[in-house]
């Protein structure tokens, strides 16, 4: 038996939440390893429900300019400092977080190529030992996910299924039936990044998913304001915020957080989202 395999997955607790679920994203290694640890610690200790940590990749096809920029800078910092691999560094961040927080779910977001290059089984086992609860792979089609899903399931890590506005009703039904943790609804078929509003089509699809899903539905891609979240929370179970947070903190952290006010900025941002 794999050590730790039978531990309850922290994502299971989401079904018991009586409030909207807020997930925030950061890029591992941005702007450098030590800074990303600092940001991760602030986030895990803040008023959020899930932390998503993205593994930088040189061809981030699903990401908009903001997250692409953080990926490129993280890779540049890694190459400059000749540190351990970005994947190993990411798991190191999770291990550090788990020393002080053992309750909040932690997700890893990675494109498929880095996982394959690292080795799927190896990636899954190290992720389990680090304390990872879920994995998001935006370029993995659901139809091709059975094998990799089983590998992660063996280590009690949930592969988070994604649905989009273009997903057919028949496929929605199949994905919903095979989902654990939560369903990640992508509110746009384009790349990540802040947008002005959510379409009525999105809201109708979310409603369809909610009618049949036994796990929470969280909405991501383009969510950036308190107004977005208020609308989302009427239809879904919560929101996933990425680019909006990075846009807020990047001018500070790229200058080295000289005034030490990054914690205040992050907490103010989160408090505003939760109003």
Residue 186 covered by a domain? yes
Q: Look up 101 and say whether it is catalytic.
A: no
- H runs (alpha helix) in 51-199: 65-81, 86-98, 112-118, 120-130, 146-154, 169-177
Residues of the chain with pLDDT under 50: 1-5, 190-195
Look at the chain and report how many structural domains it folds into. 1
Q: Distance between CA atoms of 216 and 209, rounded to whole angstroms?
A: 10
Q: Is 48 helix (H, G, I), strand (E, B) or coil?
A: coil
CATH, residue 115: 3.20.20.70
Active-site choice (32, 52, 125, 237): 52
Assigned domain for 10 exists: no
- 127 found inside a domain: yes
The domain in which residue 133 lies consists of 19-273
Domain annotation covers residue 256: yes
In a domain, 6, yes or no: no
Q: Considering 32, 38, 59, 63, which one is annotated as catalytic? A: 63
> Using an 8 Å Cβ cutoff, are 162 and 184 in contact?
yes
∠ CA 26-28-34, nearest 5°, is 105
Q: What is the pLDDT of residues 198-235, one digit of tens each?
A: 778 888 999 999 999 999 999 998 888 888 899 999 99
Burial of 47 (0-12, 13-18, 19+ CB in 10 A): exposed
63 included as an active-site residue: yes
Q: Is 136 domain-assigned?
A: yes
How far is residue 94's CA from residue 154's CA, in Å, rounded to a whole number? 20
Q: Residue 12 domain-assigned?
A: no
The pLDDT value recorded for residue 233 is 92
This prediction has a pTM of 0.92
Q: Is residue 122 part of a domain?
A: yes
């Amino acid at each position: 038996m794999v050590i730790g395999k039978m531990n309850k997955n922290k994502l299971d607790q989401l079904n018991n939440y009586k409030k909207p679920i807020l997930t925030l994203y950061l890029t591992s290694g941005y702007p450098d390893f030590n800074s990303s640890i600092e940001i991760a610690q602030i986030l895990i200790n803040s008023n959020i429900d899930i932390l998503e940590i993205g593994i930088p990749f040189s061809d981030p096809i699903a990401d908009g300019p903001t997250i692409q920029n953080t990926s490129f800078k993280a890779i540049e910092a890694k190459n400059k400092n000749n540190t351990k691999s970005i994947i190993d560094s990411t798991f190191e961040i999770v291990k550090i977080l788990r020393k002080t927080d053992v309750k909040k779910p932690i997700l890893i977001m990675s494109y498929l190529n880095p996982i394959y290059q690292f080795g799927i089984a190896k990636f899954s086992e190290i992720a389990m030992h680090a304390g990872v609860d879920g994995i998001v792979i935006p370029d993995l089609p659901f139809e091709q996910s059975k094998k990799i899903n089983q590998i992660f399931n063996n280590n009690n890590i949930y592969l988070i299924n994604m649905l989009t506005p273009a997903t057919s009703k028949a496929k929605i039904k199949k994905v919903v039936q095979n989902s654990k943790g939560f369903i990640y609804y992508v509110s746009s078929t384009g790349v990540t990044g802040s947008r002005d509003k959510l379409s009525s089509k999105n809201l109708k699809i979310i409603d369809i998913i909610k009618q049949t899903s036994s796990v929470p539905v969280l909405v991501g891609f383009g969510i950036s304001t308190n107004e977005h979240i208020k609308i989302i929370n009427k239809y879904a179970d919560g929101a996933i915020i990425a680019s909006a947070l990075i846009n807020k903190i990047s001018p500070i952290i790229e200058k080295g957080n000289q005034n030490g006010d990054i914690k205040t900025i992050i907490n103010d941002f989160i408090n505003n989202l939760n109003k």
